[in-house]
Structure formats: C-alpha cells, structure tokens
Amino acid sequence: MSLFGLKFGKKKLKEEERHLQANKRDFNLQFEYANNSIKTSKYNFFTFLPLNLFEQFQRIANAYFLFLLILQLIPQISSLAWFTTVVPLVLVLAVSGVKDAIDDFNRHKSDKHVNNRPVQVLINGMLKDEKWMNVQVGDIIKLENNNFVTADLLLLSSSEPHSLTYIETAELDGETNLKVKQALTVTAELGEDLQKLTEFNGEVKCEAPNNKLDKFTGTLTLRGEKYALDNEKMLLRGCTIRNTEWCFGLVIYAGPDTKLMQNSGKTTFKRTSIDRLMNVLVLMIFGFLALMCLILAIGNGIWESDKGYNFQVYLPWAEGVNSASYSGFLMFWSYVIILNTVVPISLYVSVEIIRLGNSFYIDWDRKMYYPLNDTPAQARTTTLNEELGQIKYIFSDKTGTLTQNIMCFNKCSINGKSYGDVYDMSGQRIEITENTEKVDFSYNPLADPKFAFYDHSLVEAVKLSDVPTHRFFRLLSLCHTVMPEEKKEGNLVYQAQSPDEGALVTAARNFGFVFRARTPETITVVEMGETKIYELLAILDFNNVRKRMSVIVRSPEGDLTLYCKGADTILYELLHPSCDSLKEETTEHLNEFAGEGLRTLVVAYKNLDEEYFQDWIKRHHEASTALEGREDKLSEIYEEIEKDLMLLGATAIEDKLQDGVPQTIETLAKAHIKIWVLTGDKQETAMNIGYSCNLLNDDMADVFVIEGSTSDDVLSELRNARKKMKPESFLDSDEINIQFEKSSKKTKLLPDEQANGVYGLVINGHSLAYALEENLELELVRTACMCKVVICCRVTPLQKAQVVELVKKYKKAVTLAIGDGANDVSMIKTAHIGVGISGQEGMQAVLSSDFSFAQFRYLQRLLLVHGRWSYIRMCKFLKYFFYKNFAFTLVHFWYGFFSGFSAQTVYDEWFITLYNLVYTSLPVLGMSLFDQDVDDRWSLLFPQLYVPGQQNLYFNKIVFVKCMLQGIYSSLILFFIPFGAMYNTMRSDGKAIADYQSFALMAQTSLLIVVSVQIGLDTSYWTVVNQFFIWGSLSVYFAITFTMYSDGMYLIFTASFPFVGTARNTLSQPNVWLAIFLSIALCVLPVVGFRFLKAQLRPTASDKVLLKIKEAKKRPPPPSPKRRLRRTSTRRSGYAFSHQHGFGALIMSGRNMRPKSPFATTGTFSPNSDKHKHKGL
C-alpha cells in the first residue's frame, strides 16, 4: 500500500522477462508494471517536513546545535538563555527548508507538465484523449506528425508505404538526422482500421527494462505464429515523429521503465568540497572544544576541592552539588554552552546568504544574456557557487553544445580552381562578414532563399556553361540519398538523412542543378531551367569501411555514368593516372580547407561502357541475393567498377561551431582545465569538430585512437598509449603502481601524472564499454587523464555518466558536465556541477542542471569570473569567520583560570548575543558579496589566476589551523593586555576602575576594533557598502553600549542591564584607550608584517600575476583585436556523414516511396534554418 507517498508491503521482485498482451489491461495489470507517470521530485506534502529535517540534521553542525539547545534547557548547567540557540537554529532550518521546497515545487511542476500531456489511446474500439500518466503497458496509442513518443512502443502501422516511420532522436543521442523505423508486415496490414486494431491480441515476450538504447530483443506471437522483434521496430520515448502523418504503437515499457528514464540517472544531493571540508573542520573544532572544556572542568574540580570547599559560606555550591568532582562534571557542560561560539550557527546562515547573493550576480550578468532568444544565464541551484571556481575537468556534449548543428556549403574546388573566398580590388583576400555582398540567386526561381554564398566567380562559371563546373553540380544533385518534397509549386523541401548531404544538394539546387523528385528507378533534376529525368540503375551504398557512395545513372541522352563522392584518402586510390596533376592542385585546396576546420569530400565520375555495365549488373544482382557472404561479395563488385575514376574536385562544408567556442576552449585550457567531449556522434565527425574548435591540433605529439573490439585489444591499446606518454609509469618503482599493489577495499585517489608531451585520446563507445569494466577502468583513467583532450564517440547517455563517475572516483578533482539534450541529463546529474544549454534539443538538460545559459562561450565567464570570485569570497569569509570567533571565544578560556573555573562569561551577556548577529555580521557579508582581487576583464585575460582554486589553496586544513593559531594569539593579547592594564589601576580622580565590568567592556571594545581592522586588511575591493558596514557596525556598537549601560535602561530593566554607568566611566580614561590601541597594534602588526614578507620573499604564482596586472593597470594595454582562431592542419575529414548503412537499398527498393507527394512539410532542410525548437523529454 502507499501511505504519504511511501511504499510499504512486499518488495517487488526483479523483472527477468516482460510478458504482455495487446488490448488486455486486466492481464497486464497482474504483473504490476509501472504506468507512464514519471516522478523526479523528492517530497510530497506529507513527507516534506520529516524528510527535509532528517536531511538537514545530517549536517553535523545542525545536530550539534540541537544538542546544545537541550543542554541549555537544563538549569543546573545553563549560563545562557535558551533563545540564544533556538532563534538562529530555526532561522537556518527555515531558510534551507524554503529553498528545498521551492526546488522541489519546480520539479513537481515539470513532472506535472510532462505527465499531463495528451495522447490518443485506443479504448473499447474508440480513440480517447488520455493523459500520458494514465497510459498502461499493453495499450495501443496513436501518434501524429511532430508528436513526442509517449512511451517505448512497438510500431504496429503507419501512414507511410510499408509502414515506415521517420523519427528524430536528438533527445536520446544528440543526432538530428532522421532515423527510419519499420513495422512488421503482419501488423502493417492493420493500418488505421480501429476495428482491426481493437481485435489485435498479439502477445509480446521481451527483455526486462534496461538502458541499452540500440538493442531490443523480443518476440510477437500472433495467431499461433512467432515473429522476431528488434530495435528497428521500436519507437523510444524521447523521440519525435517526423514526416509521418500518423502511426500506431503498442506500449512495451512505460514511465520509469522506458529506456530514456533508465538512462537519466538518479538525482543526487550535491554538496561542495568546502561543505564537506567544513563538516571535517566542525568535527575538529568539537574535539578542540571538548579538550578546552575538559581542561576547565578538571581545573574547576581541583579549585573547588583545594579552595572552594573551604569557603562555601561565602560561595555556596549549587543545589545538588555535593563534591568537587560533580561540580567539575557540571562545569564541563556549562563551558560547552559558553564556548559554543567557536562554531556559531550564524556561520551557516551567512554561508547561505553569500551563496544566494553570488547566484544573483549570475542571473543579473548582462554579458551572459543571449538576446537572440531572450535567454539570461540562470543559477538554478544556489548551493554550489564556490565550486565553480575549482573545476578541473569539463565533460561536454558536442551537438548543440559546441556546434550549432547547422551545415553550410562553404567552399569548393572544381577542376583545380578554388571557389568560396572573396578578394578585394588589389587581389587581397578579405574576411567574410555579415556586410559582405552575397551572391544573387534570383535568376533561379527554385533557389533556396536561405542559402548564402559570397564568391561571384562560381556563378559566372555556371552561367558560362563551364563543363567541369556543370558536371560537378550535376554529381551533387544525383549522388545522394536525399528525399524531396514539393507541396506547393516551386516550394522544395529536402529531407536529408544527414545534414551534410542536405547542404550539398541545396548548394547544387542554388547553382542551377535542382534535385526535384525521385522514384525507385529515376531521379528528376532541373538543370539550368531544363527538366531532365535520369534513370537510376544502382546505388553503391555507403558503409564505414568504404567511406564513399556512388550512383550509376543513365542520362536522357543515353550516357552511362558512375558518380562517386567520399573521403579523399579512399578516393585518391581509385583515380585514373591522368588525374595526377589535378590531384596535386586539389590536395593543396583540401589542405587549405582542412586548415580552416571544414569537412571535406572528394567527388569523381566515370563514363561506363554499356556492354561492361550489363555484365556487371548481372553479377551485382547475384551478389545482392547471395545467402552467404553477401556483404563481402557486394564490396568486391563495388570495388571492381569504382576504378579509374576521373577527379572533378572537392567540397568543403562548415559544421558551424557556436560563436566563440575555439576562443573559450583556448582560454579554459590556459586555466589548466581539461576538456573531454562525450558525444553520440560518429568518430570521424567528433574528430573533425575536435580539430575545428582547437581541441585537437597538429602540434600534439600524438592523438591515440582506441577502437579495440575485445577487452584485451582495448587494454593493449590503452597501455601502448600510456607507454608512449610516460614510459616510467610501468616501472615497479612508480608510486601509483606501489600504491595499487596493496589490496584495499577503499578506492584510492590517483595523483596527477604528467605526460612527456601534449596528447589527445579518442575512444569509441564499443571500446569504452570494455574500458569501463572494473578490471580496465584504472588503466582508462590513468591513460585518459594524462591527455590534454579526450573525445568519446558513439557513447550512450549512461556511458557519459559512467565516464564522469570514473573521474570522480579516482581523481581529487571537481567535475563539470555541460550539454543541451535529454541524452546529457545523466551526465549533468552525475558531475559535481551540471550546466544546461537552453538550445536546440528541448529543455530537459536545463531542467536537470545547476546552472544554465544559451551559449557555450559563456562558460568561461561562469568559471573564470563568477566561479573564481565566489570561491575567493567564500574562502576569505571562512578564514575571517573562524578567526574572529576563536579570538572572541578563547578569551573565556583564559578568564577561566582567573575566575575559579566558574563558567562566568568575560563579556556582558548582551554583547555575546549581538556579537555575531549585529556587530560583525554585516562587514563580513559586505566583503563576501562585493570583494574581488581583480575585475572581470583581468580575470579573463589571465586565466592562470584560476589555478589556486583547482588546488584548493585558499581554504584547506592548513589554512584553517593558521586561522586558529591567529585566533588563539589574538585571544591571549585581548585578555592579558586589558587584564594587565586594569590590574590595580586608578582613575584620574583617584577612584578604582579595576572591576569586572570595566575589564569586560575594555576587552570587548578591543576585540571589536581588532576584528574590524582585520576585515579592512582582508578587503581587496572597497565599495561604499563595505565602508558603511564597517564604520556603521562600530558606531552601532558604541551607540548600543552607551544606551544599554545608561541609568535609564538600568531603572527600567534592572535585572537585564547590570553594567550601569560602566561605559561612560571607563571609556573616558586615556589609559584605557592606550591599552586598547596597544592590543590592536599587537594583534594586527604581526599579520601585516607576515603578509608583506611573504609577498616579497615567497610570492605565489597568483601573487606574480597580480603584480603583472598592477603594472599593466598603470599603462592600460590597447584593446586586443578580435581575431578568428585558425588552425593549421593537414588532416582532412573522412566521410563524416551520419549515414545509416543500407539506406541506399531502401531507396532502390521503393519501400519508402509514396504514391502521393514524397514527404510531408516538416523536417525542412536549409543550411541556415533554425532547428525545430521544441520542448520534450
């Protein structure tokens, strides 16, 4: 049963196999399969208070203050009122509770939005509108074009021929090219006949829910026949239906069982490293507190037995105390209460306020606002700010994060001439900007208006009927697997299987070779206004080994031609010897294109002999119908005809990076941040982007590619890479080898290892699966962390999370994951910091993130400016806070030795109450919210300033011990100087002022001025607010002191204000002020001297950079010119299309052809079109 959202009763058994029947809810309900509602929230109305309080009391300090409150309720030991602890404790719990409630409310809202989406469900022979959350396993549902897929479905039938359905999987794997799914023939016959669909009673047996996106095995039993089911027949939640008017599906997995949710990872409670350190420090302070209380308790026992026992008449023991040892026991607890201010609860209130303030700065930062889609940066979590200043590893998605996922036909080389650059009158190449004049394609009524090209000479060549140029564009219009659609006359829309293909066909269209229609046997092209129908005789399909595709066509004039496009490394081997000189010129252009990070392809053709072709096509048919070794036979046949090709030229496509990506990566690298790219894309595509955004470059000593297909292969490849980078890491004397030889269940952290050069590592998803196994994970993390850059390709969402988890497990480093799609959610949740880009692939990544913005380039500002400032401010705050409270509290300790260890407080009770809440709270908050050692411009110009945060240099256990020692030293000065100055002292009129109250006032005045001077020394950036807070706090102290110690307050509240007249009597004496200034000088001068000498004699790297900045400020540098990063690389991309193997065969079979218009209106391809903007799972 479910009570308050908590489940009780028998534990659900682990599912081994799923068994369900279509349209039989009663049968399926017996298995208790999850329904389609999802839940990402943590609390409900009834569980919020108990669960949230339970979480909050896991903080050691909160539990300690609760314990302290209980102690204060015991009259025998309490020397302070109970409300001094209750009020701040309730305030802390309330602030944190409200924040958690708001976060969870937003999660509830998101869940509700998704769960209440409408979908058509087949119930009792009728389609009814239901909410997503009410869909059950075994239901048949209808989806329409552009709908999100509700659950994991078995495709039954669709509006397309042969029940094909086109889906976009951007939310699952980041790829925006369309995938094709096809229903079984036996279910395709159901069509949209509701009667047949209602009578459908197929029985499905399949694997239990799992997170493998690319695998599914099961069987469908229908009318006694068994049919095999695989992933090609499944529509997964998170996909979007495209170019398909309708389809019907049977729900196999729902809600939390869907592959998307299985990949989404758990929401974990994220805490910063400073939070974890504070827990350790609080334990250390408790130990120190207990030691002090024990010393004072023992002192009390000795004093009471030695002296107190003898004059009980004058100082009677408390009621119930009958021995010195019992008195000492009670004093132990009394001192626990008095000395508790070493860990004041206001510390946690202040930390929350500082984090909240610093997160508002991120929200308000106009330099991180993206006006094009009105998206400001957003700190969605307010508890992780300072960790942004400590990032060592960034894990980034590629598609939509580094790239815009827009392909542009940028340049080309035709017959040895390069096109695409623009030159001025003097023949100098000029950079293309928004103001550069575009080529006018108005002469072509079928041109795509969004296509932009700037080199007018190419249009002239086309208009002059230059034969090689015409042949080049004819090839681009014929050699592809694109599907056209023309609902209105002249309004052409291309549906490309990869965006690269779409870009090439669109380029041909604009230059006058318009691909207009296709059937299984023909391709219709409008060439320079004249419609020509080519007979399509064969498609020699692409695969990963061939890295090329060819088509064989017969022109209207009867000429037989083979057109081929592919990777230059492959095609150059197939060229006719007569092309050698042209090959050299084209290679030069290819190197130039590759140097600019463009994706290149080589195109070639061959005229065929009719007799030879007829013989070849017979053998091709035999190979394509062979039962054994079909792939190998086809490959041989293809290679036979793809020989002696004539080179036409090369194309260069730009996979548009987001603005500022190369510069951002360069800046982050200078800050010693390592970047790993985790993408679902192909290896070739990922490496191209790696080169174009300056992650990989030719200056690297080597780029290792790990692509082993067995565990042993992967191990061998990883070890070979490590051997090259650091041969000595294989020696027995290597400290890591020694460390890991000792068996231990506890995970050991790996120290940083330096390679002997700059290296990159590329690993594909298949090999990564082996590398993530327990016996190989250490080898993977050692090898990968030596590299400057790591690129993981073809990875699943769960593998992304596993890679992040691996680095967290073995490295003492803070990780950040950044992505924009649902496939990045698990990685974002796993990393210490998750950043969502509100961009192309819906809002799921943003909803799961801690911080979000619109462009990757804002990451450098988030880390190097906001992150660094937040970290420095938090560290300064903690150092100062611990110092001022040690100095404040330990005066009580020294006083105990002079007051018979009687747990009497040094200060007035009102001063104790107001010290942390009023007198010292605002100055430290002012520093923690406004301080900056350098402004944002210098922070970005000198990324090296970020390094101390990664090494946690500004606040750690050693720094804490230094603060503690400084606090102990100050407390000694603050006790003994006023004590010595007051001892047997007379006023100027001969009256004594050597009384307890005068001493207390002098000590607390000295303390407050010392801590105010200290915060002045700690402040780097003075504002009006800082000045006001510091001087204001001192003024308030004197105002309150003179008021509370006045005659009037004593007459009104006699018991509460016993220090009558002390302020005006004591603070009017010159010798008192002299002693106060002596205390201040002795506390502050050693600090100033130490800091000066340290900066002069042993400056840190940051000190040196700050000195450079100081000198640079005297003579401001000229503004740095905006430069476009260009790489010099000889590497060229291979055939990097996101092609699906076998798509050519699908076209030739005609199964994806419609009797009506070829494609629906969605899925518009244009090189500059905005990607479909949608929200989804």
Helix (H), strand (E) at residue 153: strand 152-158
Residue 853: strand pairing partners:
837
DSSP 8-state assignment for residue 529 = T
Report d(CA 24, CA 21) in Å as an integer. 6
Q: Which H or E run includes 872? A: helix 868-896
Query: What is the rounded distance in angstroms from the CA atom of residue 1162 to the CA atom of residue 1172?
Result: 9
d(CA 211, CA 800): 12
Q: Are residues 269 and 159 in contact, defined by beta-carbon separation less than 8 angstroms? A: no
DSSP code per residue over 634-664: HHHHHHHHS-SBEEEEEEEEEEEEPTTHHHH
Q: Both tokens of residue 818?
A: 């950044």
Active-site entry in 397, 448, 541, 681: 397
* Residues 274 and 384: beta-carbon distance below 8 Å: no
- Between strands 814-819 and 833-837, the pairing is parallel
- Residue 2: the pLDDT is 39
pLDDT, mean of each 10-residue run, the chain (1177 residues): 39 78 91 87 86 81 80 72 70 80 82 90 91 93 92 93 82 70 90 91 92 85 89 90 91 91 71 83 88 92 77 66 78 85 76 88 92 87 88 87 81 91 80 80 85 88 90 93 77 78 91 88 90 90 80 92 89 89 90 79 92 90 78 87 91 85 91 90 78 82 90 92 88 70 67 86 89 89 91 86 92 91 83 84 73 92 94 94 92 89 82 84 91 88 91 92 94 92 71 75 92 93 92 92 72 62 74 90 92 86 80 66 48 53 67 50 37 39
pLDDT at residue 177 in the model? 67
Count of positions (residues) in the chain: 1177
Element (H, E) at 526: strand 522-527
Alpha-carbon distance values, 429 to 415, 426, 440 (Å): 21, 9, 20
CB 136 within 8 A of CB 233: no
The Cα 668–Cα 666 span in angstroms is 6
Q: Which helix (H) or strand (E) holds 126?
A: strand 126-131
Q: Are 658 and 855 within 8 A, CB to CB? A: yes
424 exposure class (CB count in 10 Å sphere: 0-12, 13-18, 19+):
exposed
Does the annotation mark 397 as catalytic?
yes
3-state helix, strand, coil in the chain (%, to 5): 45, 20, 35
* Residue entry with tokens 């790990």: 706
959: tokens are 């720094």
CA distance 702 to 722: 12
Q: Per residue, what are the HEC states of 309-326?
A: HHHCCCCCCCCCCCCHHH
pLDDT of residue 873: 94
What pLDDT is recorded for position 127? Answer: 92
**Of 969, 873, 916, the residue nearest 343 (C-alpha):** 916
Of the candidates 848, 721, 701, the one whose C-alpha atom is nearest the C-alpha of residue 784 is: 721
Report the DSSP pairing between strands 522-527 and 833-837: unpaired
Task: Characterize the bridge pairing of strands 646-657 and 403-414.
Answer: antiparallel
The H or E element spanning position 930 is helix 921-930
CB 823 within 8 A of CB 172: yes
User: Would you say 486 and 478 are in contact if contact means Cβ atoms under 8 Å apart?
Assistant: no
Helices (H), 1055-1177: 1062-1066, 1070-1097, 1101-1114, 1143-1149
Cβ atoms of 398 and 681 closer than 8 Å: yes
Which phi and psi angles does 295 have, rounded to 5°?
A: -60, -45
Amino acid at 963: C
E strands, 139-270, where? 140-144, 152-158, 164-168, 178-182, 203-207, 218-222, 225-229, 234-235, 240-242, 246-253
Nearest to 566, CA basis, from 471, 511, 639, 657: 639
> What's the CA gap between 368 and 237, in Å, rounded?
33
Q: Exposed/middle/buried for 932, CB within 10 Å: 0-12, 13-18, 19+?
A: middle
1040: alpha, beta or left? (left if phi > 0; alpha if psi -120 to 50): alpha
Note the pLDDT of residue 696: 85
Determine contact, residues 1013/1080, Cβ cutoff 8 Å. Answer: yes
Cα–Cα distance measured from residue 637 to residue 613, given in angstroms and rounded to the nearest whole number:
12
How far apart (Å, rounded) are the C-alpha atoms in residues 1031 and 485? 74
Least Cα distance to 41 among 3, 5, 92, 1 occurs for 5
CA distances from 726 to 331, 510, 781, 839 (A): 61, 53, 14, 41
User: Quick check: 461 and 469 in contact, CB under 8 A?
Assistant: yes
DSSP one-letter code for 866 = I
Dist CA 860 CA 718 (whole Å): 31
Q: Please, are residues 151 and 33 in contact by the beta-carbon 8 Å criterion?
A: no
pLDDT for 1067 equals: 77
Supply the angle between the helices 868-896 and 273-306 in degrees, to the nearest 10.
Answer: 0
pLDDT of amino acid 11: 46
Position 338 scores a pLDDT of 85
**pLDDT of the residue at 1177:** 39
